[in-house]
Each structure stands twice: as structure tokens, then as C-alpha cells.
Amino acid sequence: DARVTQTPRHKVTEMGQEVTMRCQPILGHNTVFWYRQTMMQGLELLAYFRNRAPLDDSGMPKDRFSAEMPDATLATLKIQPSEPRDSAVYFCASGSTGAWAAEAFFGQGTRLTVV
Amino acid sequence: GDSVTQMEGPVTLSEEAFLTINCTYTATGYPSLFWYVQYPGEGLQLLLKATKADDKGSNKGFEATYRKETTSFHLEKGSVQVSDSAVYFCALSDRIAGGTSYGKLTFGQGTILTVHP
């Protein structure tokens, strides 16, 4: 059963520390998304990649967030330094784009708490 | 830019009641439309989709019809169950002229549905 895998599922860290979240997209998918979910803002698109190239990271605070795809099986989202306002659930999703519809398959998320 | 607006929640219903969750969208192109569902502690799962005007997506008793003239994609179910309690998200995927989709999903704010026995 193909699925998107995110690690860790939960992370508690102190303000100022570096946080790295990892995502393994579904094999064969060529598009990867990073979303952040909070009660106040709902789902926000942070960044997305196609064929490992960043297409749009305008939703991401550039001074502290970075997203990369070192290879087709791994996407990373890094926060350095972390702040309490970064506390949220971060979702990775992957999809296979083509004509017409491009649905995304979501991982279970990383719940980040910055204290 | 593209946007999706869902009806205000939360929605509370008794089992076997009829469900409607309204969704309207604004898009510069000709998007694909989706409904996703999120159960507690889980990621989002695709519930149904429609790719062109007048298409009806359906799954697990849920339905939604792509209405281009009213830019709407309302979710309906004739008889809800307790197990349908979840958060429902309407979304669109942008698409350039010619049909190639970029797959960038824009979500509504979500509607919390609670179904009581």
C-alpha cells in the first residue's frame, strides 16, 4: 500500500533549535508539497517541487525556513532557528501531475511544538 | 490569485440527516476540484474529485458537482453516519491552458462535521 511517510510524527524542541522534518514521497510521484496547518491559518502551502526542482516557495519565511529534495525519495523541511509561532502540524504530500487532475496524497504529518 | 471559500462551521447533525457543505471558488484558469477529509490525528485523504464542468464526483455516499456557472462544488450526502465526523476541505488545483496541471492545491478553511447517534 503506497503512502507518504513523514518523520518524526511528533517533535518538541526549544526555541532557537534547528528542526528538520523528513518526507518520503510515493515512489514514482514527481511533485512534492509542504503544507502547514494551524487553527488560526488553516492549511498554508509552504513550498512545492516538481521533478525535485523548487517551483514555488513563496509561502515560506525565507529567513528561517528551507526546503530541499536531495533525491527523488527524500524531501526535507528545515527551520533554523525555530520559534514558538512555528508550532503547527506540517504535512508533506506527493502527486503525479499530468493532464486534468493532479490529486495529492498526504502523509500523517509532523506535529511540531516549540517551547 | 486562486481561492476557495467554504461555509462557516462547525456543522452538527444527527445520524441519518442530510448533509450539505457549501464551497465556492475563484480561479483564473480552469481548475480541477476536490474534497478532502481529515480524521482526528490523520493527514488529509482524497474523498472525491471532478475535472470539468458538470462532472459529478462521488465516493462513500458523498457527491459533489462541478458547477462552472456558479463556481461552486458543494458536498452532499443523503444520510450521514457517526463515522463521517471529521473535517472536510474543499480544494482546487490550478491548471494552465491546454490541460497540463501544475497540481498546486489551494484549500478552503475546512468545515468541522460532528454527527451524533
pLDDT digits (tens, 9 = 90+) for B26-81: 988 788 899 999 998 888 999 999 988 999 999 999 999 999 999 999 999 999 99
Pairwise pLDDT comparison (B22 vs A39), residue with the higher score: B22
pLDDT at A16: 97
pLDDT digits (tens, 9 = 90+) for B10-19: 999 999 999 9
Interface contact flag, A43 B43, Cβ < 8 Å: no
Q: Return the HEC string of chain B.
A: CCEEEECCCCEEEECCCCEEECEEEECCCCCEEEEEEECCCCCEEEEEEECCCCCEEEECCEEEECECCCCECCEEECCCCHHHCEEEEEEEEEECCCCEEEEEEEECCCEEEEEEC
Nearest CB to A101: which of B36, B51, B109?
B51
pLDDT at B102 over 70: no
Q: What is the distance in angstroms between the Cα of B117 and the nearest Cα belonging to chain A?
A: 27
Mutation target vs A (from B46, B66, B105, B112; most A CBs, 10 A cutoff): B105
Q: Report strand pairing: A88-95 vs A74-79.
A: unpaired
